[in-house]
Structure 1
Amino acid sequence: MATTMFIKHITFLFSLLLFLILVFPAANAMKMNDVNTFCKETADVDFCLKYIGTDKRIVAARDLYDVLLIALYQSKIQITNAVKELNRVRPKFSGPIGKERISYCERNYGYASNHVQDALELAKKNKVYAYKAGSLATGGSVFVRECEDEWKKHGPIQKSPVTFYNNNVAKMSSIIRKIIDKLY
């Protein structure tokens, strides 16, 4: 009888603990409505919802500061994917101009990656550094834009093989600026 009573109490306490763990983090998280409202304020709502609203980390986001971290991570992903694409298309650009353009973009994406990585490290340290982190990340997007422009200079105009990623980094930079504007 005492053993049964003990098991019931332990089961109840375990159930209560599990309930508290599951319910309270959700209570502190941003509501998906808030994310939708934020994305509607950006220049490209669908892009924001796709990359911010569906990021698996958004369910744990408590505020715009956490959304900033997600946007920085997403920027890093876009930059990494662009570098992979540059490596994939390198054989198609075997002439001297193509090689130079690929090399230029790799270098610029390296600079952009460093900026975003520094921004992430800074933002993860403390919320106080959010403004500086946002500035670093958006500054890194300038290097990406220069990569896009390189395909129109110094020889025949060609379509950049990383336009998709260049545009994504620019859109993410716009989202980061919007977050910083709302935070400050």
Structure 2
Amino acid sequence: MVGDGVTTQLQKDYLGKPTNAPSAGPSPEMGKGILGDPPPGFPPKEASPISPTMDLGALIKSICKQSQDYDFCMRSLGTDPRSETTDVRGLAMVSASLAVIQIQDTLGRIPDIIKQTTDPVAVRRLGVCENDYDGLLGNFQNAFRATSNNAFQDTVKFVRDGEKQVADCHNIFRKDGPFATSPIEGDDVKVFKLAELVLIAIYRLIPKI
């Protein structure tokens, strides 16, 4: 979300469930949530308690059940070898690290996409995205470091700032010119989903946020 009470197009695309739809976890579809301040009662105090006896597989599944895309979460966390010997904080760090890798990959491809684009409006929009992704990279690198240092409130700030940047890139193709589909739309959604995983894990470490 960019601004109170405003739902971004990215939220509509990815989180466009009706407000009465069943959800396996936090549901930020009402204008506040993953891209803004937590709505009242998020995260739910009773949801997915951390058990000292919970095995890692169950921990990953419990986090993924809270996410908007269970299969994506399981592919991301469930198959990463770093997830095999870690805890909630470690899973937040793995998620942030995966986001950094994705962002770096996108940044590496944007110049080639620009070279292959003849539409000046699309070139300008991709330039905005390149700038957004530069900032996005720094925010998720900082989120990783903050989590490593147990500075969880800082982690939340960096992730939220990064989410605004990816939303800006996504939305630029829907304003200031003809509506178009971003050539890196899939990248935007992957980063958004990984950001959500970071926050789900972090909110377990600071449940009163």
Task: Give TM-score, length-normalised by structure 2.
Answer: 0.68
**In the TM superposition, what is the alpha-carbon distance from 1:30 to its structure 2 partner?**
5.1
SS of aligned partner of 2:168: helix
Q: Rg bigger for which structure?
A: 1
Counterpart in 2 of 1:130? 152
Aligned equivalents of 2:112, 2:85: Cα separation in 1: 35
Aligned equivalents of 2:131, 2:169: Cα separation in 1: 9
Q: Is it true that 1:34 corresponds to 2:59 in the alignment? A: yes
SS of aligned partner of 1:94: coil
Aligned equivalents of 2:67, 2:120: Cα separation in 1: 40
The runs of 5 or more residues in structure 2 that have no matched partner are 1-52
Counterpart in 1 of 2:75? 50
**Does structure 2 retain, via aligned residues, the 8 Å contact 1:65–1:130?**
no
The letter of the residue matching 1:60 is T
Counterpart in 2 of 1:182? 204
Q: Is it true that 1:159 corresponds to 2:184 in the alignment? A: no
**Does structure 2 retain, via aligned residues, the 8 Å contact 1:86–1:102?**
yes
SS of aligned partner of 1:151: helix
Aligned equivalents of 1:59, 1:138: Cα separation in 2: 27
Aligned equivalents of 1:35, 1:72: Cα separation in 2: 15
Higher helix share: 1
User: May I ask how many residue pairs the two structures share in their alignment?
Assistant: 154
**In the TM superposition, what is the alpha-carbon distance from 1:59 to its structure 2 partner?**
1.0
Decide which moves more: 32-41 or 156-165: 32-41
Aligned equivalents of 1:168, 1:115: Cα separation in 2: 16
Write the mapping of 1:1-184 to structure 2, written as runs, cut at 5 A.
Answer: 31-61=56-86, 63-124=87-148, 126-127=149-150, 129-184=151-206
Aligned equivalents of 1:74, 1:107: Cα separation in 2: 20
The letter of the residue matching 1:144 is V
Deviation digits for residues 142-171 of structure 1 (CA, Å, limit 9, x no counterpart): 101110111111222221011111001111
The letter of the residue matching 1:141 is E
The letter of the residue matching 1:117 is Q
Q: CA RMSD for the aligned pairs?
A: 1.8
The letter of the residue matching 2:124 is E
**Does structure 2 retain, via aligned residues, the 8 Å contact 1:86–1:161?**
no
**In the TM superposition, what is the alpha-carbon distance from 1:49 to its structure 2 partner?**
0.5
**In the TM superposition, what is the alpha-carbon distance from 1:72 to its structure 2 partner?**
0.6
**In the TM superposition, what is the alpha-carbon distance from 1:84 to its structure 2 partner?**
2.4
The runs of 5 or more residues in structure 1 that have no matched partner are 1-27
